[in-house]
């Protein structure tokens, strides 16, 4: 058995683990990183990257079939599903070197391609190596949750870990789960020529603003996606090419393929956390505001903590713990400025409080500002004018933003910046955006907050008239 001592041991080479390893080694720490599966984790191999690549193929197909409004003849937009999956794999391959073992070894990280398990509070075994570390970071992420639905084990089904290897286009894709993954894959497959039915036990896109989520869902329905809400899957039966999902209320949905997208479960089974004295809650690692576990040597970041399960959250949390681990400075993770987006067309994005949450928290102090995309010249010129931004404002400061429309995932970043730094609406309104651009939507929305204060104020009008009379 080989033994290694190190400053920082990172378990998991997904977004969070890679960020910790790169940051720590470049600032002078001795770093060992363990990964028994794929470098780059779920995001690169099964999640964010392949799903956006497939959505890009779907957008091209859709665009070919809908060019007439732009003076371009509509084309069939025929889809070669296997070739689209080749495109997905090419995109993964292009990004993979950035997350590779070779790159991180080049930075000075000792990368061991084995799973790790604790054998004491400060020791982890990986294959034939035992690593003793001053600080240990658990960044093992999550995997698709496969619920115990009657009959599911007896029929073929896909998850996000297998879907991108599927080479034959589904005739009719059934999707259990109406969250962002299910909704994105629903639109992608519909635009690529599949029949699609989404089966959601509660409300689809339930974590987003209900008003804006409803607009997106209606847009998908207009494209031909069937979305069945309040339909909890109770039993599944059939065989490859002929699958039935029966809901608890008796509704039956028939299709050729099945995608299970009901959520995630944390990857903690292999870790032997009890030997390290690391507490868990419902399978997730319990951490404090500094992302430390019950074992003060051990930090946990990303999906494995059971919080907001987004790649950018893991990367953000990596920065939080680097400050603490490397410099012994106090550092706390916050969530109010963390955005998320569903990358359909149009997109749906959120940061901070939704309108309902803001009303519950701030009551009558809340002001809701709305600005429609159809007042933006760039959106009109590109026929992307379906959209709406809602800003939740309290005493001149934004506390949340909800955006539905083209490039919502890009536009939401400004409001994350505002929430992270406590900016006021007047500072956003002072921004100058190039004309014509979608960025003007944010500026105009901020301006809409001040409009009634300026243009509907009798006091302002009286002051203007007075100044005009006094001017030479």
Residue 334 forms part of a structural domain? no
Shared-domain flag, residues 13 and 138: yes
Residue 34 forms part of a structural domain? yes
Q: Which residue, among 317, 283, 315, 313, has the nearest Cα to 300 in the 3D structure?
A: 317
Q: Which residue, among 394, 409, 403, has the nearest Cα to 444 in the 3D structure?
A: 403
How far is it, in rounded angstroms, from Cα 344 to Cα 46? Answer: 17
Shared-domain flag, residues 316 and 377: no
Contact status, residue 171 vs residue 156, Cβ threshold 8 Å = no
What is the predicted pLDDT for the residue at 456? Answer: 67
Residue 461 forms part of a structural domain? no
Residues 6+ apart with CB under 8 A from 219: 344, 346, 386
How far is it, in rounded angstroms, from Cα 207 to Cα 205? Answer: 6
Residue 216 forms part of a structural domain? yes
Shared-domain flag, residues 449 and 401: yes
Shared-domain flag, residues 256 and 271: no
Shared-domain flag, residues 362 and 236: no
Q: With 0-12 CB in 10 A as exposed, 13-18 as middle and 19+ as buried, what is 128?
A: exposed
The CATH number for 220's domain is 3.50.50.60
* Whole-number percent of the chain with pLDDT over 90: 94
Residue 462 forms part of a structural domain? no
Which regions in the chain score pLDDT beneath 70? 454-457
Contact status, residue 271 vs residue 124, Cβ threshold 8 Å = no
Helix (H) or strand (E) holding 244: strand 242-247
Shared-domain flag, residues 6 and 131: yes
Residue 180 forms part of a structural domain? yes
The CATH number for 449's domain is 3.30.390.30
Residue 85 forms part of a structural domain? no
Shared-domain flag, residues 255 and 275: no
Shared-domain flag, residues 27 and 159: no
Shared-domain flag, residues 184 and 219: yes
What is the predicted pLDDT for the residue at 467? Answer: 82
Shared-domain flag, residues 139 and 252: no
As for how many domains the chain has, the answer is: 3
What is the predicted pLDDT for the residue at 463? Answer: 77
Q: What is the DSSP letter of 151?
A: T
How far is it, in rounded angstroms, from Cα 299 to Cα 285? Answer: 9
Q: What share of the chain is helix, strand, coil (3-state, %, to 5)?
A: 40, 25, 35
Shared-domain flag, residues 295 and 157: no
Q: Out of 273, 296, 327, pick the residue that ends a domain.
A: 327
Q: Which two tokens stand for residue 98?
A: 């950035």
Residue 65 forms part of a structural domain? no
Domain that holds residue 418: 339-455
Shared-domain flag, residues 248 and 206: yes
């Amino acid at each position: 058995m080989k033994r290694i001592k190190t400053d920082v041991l990172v378990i998991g080479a997904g977004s969070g683990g890679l960020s910790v390893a790169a940051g720590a080694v470049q600032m002078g720490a001795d770093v060992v990183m363990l990964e028994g599966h794929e470098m780059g984790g779920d995001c690169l191999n099964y999640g964010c990257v392949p799903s956006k690549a497939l959505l890009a193929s779907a957008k091209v197909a859709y665009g070919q079939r809908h060019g007439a409004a732009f003076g371009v003849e509509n084309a069939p937009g025929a889809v070669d599903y296997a070739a689209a999956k080749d495109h997905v794999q090419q995109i993964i391959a292009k990004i993979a070197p950035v997350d590779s073992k070779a790159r991180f070894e080049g930075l000075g990280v000792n990368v061991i391609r084995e799973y790790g398990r604790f054998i004491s509070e400060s020791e982890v075994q990986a294959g034939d190596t035992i690593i003793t570390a001053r600080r240990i970071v658990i960044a093992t992420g999550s995997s698709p949750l496969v619920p115990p639905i009657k009959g599911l084990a007896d029929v073929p089904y896909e998850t996000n870990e297998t879907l991108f290897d599927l080479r034959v286009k589904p005739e009719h894709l059934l999707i259990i789960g109406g969250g962002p993954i299910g909704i994105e894959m629903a639109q992608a497959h519909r635009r690529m020529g599949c029949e699609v039915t989404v089966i959601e036990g509660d409300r689809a896109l339930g974590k987003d603003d209900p008003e804006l989520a409803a607009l997106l869902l209606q847009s998908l329905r207009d494209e031909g996606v069937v979305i069945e809400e309040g339909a909890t899957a109770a039993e599944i039966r059939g065989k490859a090419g002929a699958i039935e999902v029966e809901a608890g209320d008796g509704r039956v949905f028939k299709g050729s393929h099945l995608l299970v997208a009901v959520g995630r479960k944390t990857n903690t089974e292999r870790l032997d956390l009890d030997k390290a004295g690391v507490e868990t809650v419902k399978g997730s690692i319990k951490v404090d505001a500094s992302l430390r576990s019950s074992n003060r040597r051990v930090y946990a970041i990303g999906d494995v903590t059971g919080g907001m399960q987004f790649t950018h959250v893991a990367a953000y949390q990596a920065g939080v713990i680097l400050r603490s681990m490397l410099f012994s400075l106090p550092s706390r993770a916050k969530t109010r400025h963390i955005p998320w987006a569903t990358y359909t067309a149009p997109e749906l994005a959120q940061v901070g409080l939704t309108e309902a949450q803001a009303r519950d928290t701030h009551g009558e102090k809340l002001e809701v500002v709305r600005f429609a995309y159809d007042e933006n010249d760039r959106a009109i010129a590109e026929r992307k004018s379906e959209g709406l931004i809602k800003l939740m404002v309290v005493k001149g400061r934004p506390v949340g933003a909800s955006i539905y429309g083209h490039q919502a995932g890009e536009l939401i970043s400004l409001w994350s910046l505002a929430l992270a730094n406590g900016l006021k609406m007047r500072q956003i309104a002072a921004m100058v955006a190039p004309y014509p651009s979608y960025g003007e939507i944010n500026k105009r929305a901020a301006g809409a907050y001040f409009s009634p204060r300026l243009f509907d104020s009798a006091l302002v009008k009286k002051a203007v008239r007075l100044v005009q009379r006094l001017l030479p």
